[in-house]
A = this chain, B = another copy of it.
Amino acid sequence: MMVIILNQQVTDAQKKHVLDTVLEAGATPYPAGPTTVVVPGNHAALTEKLASMPSVVQVVPIKSPYPLASREFHPEDTVIDIRGHIIGGQTPTIMAGPCSVESVEGIVEIAQAVKRLGGHLLRGGAFKPRSSPYSFQGHGEEGLKMMAIAREKTGLPIISEVMEPDKVALVAEYVDILQIGARNMQNYPLLREAGKSMKPVMLKRGLSGTVEEWLMSAEYILAQGNPNVILCERGIRTYEKATRNTMDLNAVPVVKHLSHLPIVVDPSHGVGKAAFVRPMARAGIAAGAHGVIVEIHPNPAKALSDADQTIDFAEFGQMVREVNLISDALSGSEKDHVLMHV
């Protein structure tokens, strides 16, 4: 593959000329944002021709099947600014909130706890994917409105899931980050629409998604010109049933090696039992994750969904402390100096 970088002042005519040149060579150009074009396949002759055009800044040959998501193309870490909070930098991002948004009072109370205890973003389910058509499917737009009120009261940015292409615009109106859930990791029409929205997107790994498939799904979003993708490891499905899922922390250094995109871990879904969320949050940060997303509730036993894996405020506070202790302890260390040399 190759990625063609056009200069910022490229004119429509120049861009058309580039695309036509690619087409004439029998290749297919995929514009990915105003100044980027991806061309699959090997076209050495084309490379030279393109490189000599005045509107072309650079032609980057890429071996990876997910060029825009790869470190080959983009060696530095991607850093995403969400209302002033940085995801992908040195400080771990903490996102927390209920599985389902239940009421205005409830979500505000939780948001205040998240903020007080050191969290940075509020998560909450409004449109809920449920295995049964007869289960509570979330409060939908009403839930998003409640989250927006909680953001107003606390200043915390909000993240919530979107499940279908048609609802992307609606959800994007409310949230700061669109979440794409594990079941939809390969819902390509949804990925495309999320890409077009230009909102930051947190893409969860599917229950049986390989690292490669996951990065290729991220590529669907990036290929729309939306550079702000956050990956989230939330447990894969294995034979082991002592835990709800098997959080695959091995994927954290692997993804950081292959891609520049930030990666966070979700120990609530990853391990699926409240008592094990805190140690697995610690482990995620120690593995190099850029953050943690967890389900919290003032009284987990009464939560409308996911009660077993939801932690209370005290446990959450302790988790934040420990996560920060680990991050601080490692900050002097060249945490990942080897990774890039492999």
Contacts and interface: CB of A to CB of B under 8 A. Distances in A.
Nearest to A67: B134
Query: What 6 A-B pairs have minimum CB-CB distances, sorted nearest first?
Result: A208-B208, A286-B286, A283-B287, A329-B329, A275-B342, A164-B189
Nearest to A135: B40
Interface of A: 1, 28, 30, 38, 40, 65-66, 129-135, 163-166, 183-184, 186-190, 192, 206-208, 210-213, 216-217, 219-220, 223, 236-243, 246-254, 257, 270-271, 273-276, 278-280, 282-288, 315, 318, 321-322, 325-326, 328-330, 333-336, 338-339, 341-342
A257 B216 CA distance: 33
Given A280-B287, A283-B287, 16 more contacts: A132-B216, A183-B186, A183-B187, A208-B208, A237-B239, A240-B251, A253-B271, A274-B338, A275-B339, A279-B288, A279-B339, A282-B330, A283-B286, A318-B334, A325-B333, A326-B330
Contact of A216 (B131, B208, B240, B270): B131
A129 B283 contact: no
B30 A283 contact: no
A236 to B, nearest CB: 6
Contacts of A274: 338, 342
29 contacts: A1-B134, A30-B134, A40-B135, A130-B188, A131-B186, A131-B213, A131-B217, A132-B216, A133-B220, A134-B223, A163-B188, A164-B190, A183-B186, A187-B187, A211-B240, A211-B242, A236-B238, A237-B239, A240-B250, A241-B241, A242-B254, A274-B342, A275-B342, A276-B339, A279-B287, A318-B333, A322-B335, A326-B326, A326-B329
B329 A325 contact: yes
Nearest to A288: B279
A96 to B, nearest CB: 17
Contact of A240 (B38, B248, B285, B318): B248
Contacts of A208: 206-208, 237, 239
Question: Most chain-B Cβ atoms within 10 A of its Cβ — which of A211, A236, A329?
Answer: A329
Given A133-B30, A286-B326, A240 B236 contact: yes
A328 B286 CA distance: 13
A325 B329 CA distance: 6
A212 B242 CA distance: 8
